[in-house]
């Protein structure tokens, strides 16, 4: 482990609506420490390493201060940090690569708030707090949307009048940090070059697919927001716009937002369960239907992205469900046998990295998600460039 006092540590912050996850990496991008603050503004807790304690956290600024104090107790202070990297959900049309956080970049992230009102303000909060608490530490931002900046306009443009599209109403795509990490790590794990036509599954509480051609995203299932596409833990996934308008007419705008984002998906279908592990253990018809709905719509969208790729050379799973839900993975791979993929049942059952047989013309892999490490890598690359 690198001595924190060497000044080689990179702190990564991933802020959500009521939490801040953090991880510390050394110069070799090895994670040396991690933790999170949770339930900010409520019955909040701080976990660092194996230690968890109750702590009063009124807001994100207070949460960051608590994180910095906890890190200081472990010998990691702002003076010993080489950089801080932040996950930012939405970079909009202009922030399409990792960037150093300057006043202009910070302003552009704020300008994207209408595109991600549930995310970007919380991503900005620790940046602003850190700028006050440790102004000399360089900060960098990595954007969940930027990996999809290579999508052609025919994939990102909604069929709406241009004057509306120029206001930012278009498809962006998300989970970009996960897909960027997958593209980097797959050749390391497989020992082979990156497949030309790669179908990537990021399956977790939030879920999406990405068509990756020669290392670049050309299509993805999420659109203007993370609500579109697959059935998810609490999000509805794709739903007809007129159905949304009716829900707004009957329930009002704010209630409809809550319904579609927090009460739908697996939770709504099963009558109360959003965790795939609990659904798989529940023998009820509603839970079984929720799992089948998830798999069915994942396969429906997979067919669309394979068409965009004009075929497929490899399939890769990542995310909590993608990495751990053996039966879900088996169901999806069985539904893709028409592509030529031949599954090794024992490899899948044991969640090995390689899921395909020697005779399979289409490869299938499990790639552990390492988004925080990707953010650290982005920060390190920008530091080196400077």
Look up 144 and say whether it is catalytic. Answer: yes
Give the start-end residues of each E strand in 204-339.
207-213, 216-220, 314-318
Is residue 169 a contact partner of residue 149, using CB atoms and an 8 Å limit?
no
Q: Which two tokens stand for residue 49?
A: 């390493």
Three-state DSSP class for residue 57: coil
Residue 18 CA: distances (Å) to CA of 22, 59, 126, 257? 14, 8, 12, 18
Catalytic one of 38, 144, 228, 378: 144
Name residue, tokens 């299509």. 219
- What are the phi and psi torsion angles at 211 (to 5°)? -90, 115
Interatomic CA distance for residues 52 and 280, integer angstroms: 29
Count, residues in the chain: 386
- What are the phi and psi torsion angles at 50 (to 5°)? -95, 0
Helices vs strands, H then E, count in the chain? 15, 13
- What are the phi and psi torsion angles at 350 (to 5°)? -90, 5
End-to-end CA distance of the chain: 26
Q: Which residues are catalytic?
A: 144
């Amino acid at each position: 482990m690198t001595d924190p006092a060497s000044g080689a540590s990179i702190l990564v912050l991933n802020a959500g609506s009521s939490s801040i996850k953090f991880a510390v990496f050394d110069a070799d991008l090895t994670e040396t420490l991690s933790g999170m603050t949770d339930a900010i503004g409520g019955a909040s807790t701080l976990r660092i390493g194996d230690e968890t304690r109750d702590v009063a956290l009124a807001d994100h600024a207070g949460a960051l201060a608590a994180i910095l104090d906890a890190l200081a107790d472990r010998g990691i202070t702002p003076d010993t940090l080489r950089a801080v990297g932040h996950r930012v959900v939405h970079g909009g049309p202009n922030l399409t690569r990792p960037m150093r956080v300057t006043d202009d970049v910070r302003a552009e992230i704020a300008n994207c708030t209408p595109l991600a009102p549930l995310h970007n303000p919380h991503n900005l909060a620790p940046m602003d707090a850190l700028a006050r608490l440790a102004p000399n530490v360089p900060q960098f931002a990595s954007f969940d949307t930027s990996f999809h900046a290579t999508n052609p306009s025919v994939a990102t443009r909604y069929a709406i009048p241009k004057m509306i599209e120029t206001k930012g109403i278009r498809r962006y795509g998300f989970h970009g940090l996960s897909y960027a990490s997958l593209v980097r790590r797959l050749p390391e794990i497989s020992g082979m070059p990156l497949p030309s036509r790669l179908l990537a599954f990021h399956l977790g509480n939030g879920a999406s697919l990405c068509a990756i051609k020669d290392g670049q995203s050309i299509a993805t299932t999420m659109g203007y927001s993370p609500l579109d596409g697959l059935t998810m833990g609490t999000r509805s996934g794709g739903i007809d716009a007129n159905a949304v308008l009716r829900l707004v007419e009957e329930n009002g705008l704010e209630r409809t937002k809550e319904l579609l984002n927090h009460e739908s998906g697996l939770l709504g279908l099963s009558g109360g369960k959003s965790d795939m592990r609990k659904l798989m253990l529940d023998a009820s018809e509603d839970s079984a239907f929720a799992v089948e709905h998830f798999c069915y719509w994942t396969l429906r969208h997979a067919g669309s992205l394979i068409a965009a790729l004009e075929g497929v050379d490899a399939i890769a799973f990542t995310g909590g469900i993608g990495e751990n839900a053996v039966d879900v993975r088996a169901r999806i791979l069985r539904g893709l046998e028409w592509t030529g993929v031949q599954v090794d049942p024992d490899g899948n059952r044991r969640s090995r990295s390689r899921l395909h047989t020697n005779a399979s013309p289409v490869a299938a892999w499990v790639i552990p998600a390492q988004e925080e490490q990707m953010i650290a890598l982005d920060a390190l690359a920008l530091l080196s460039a400077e």
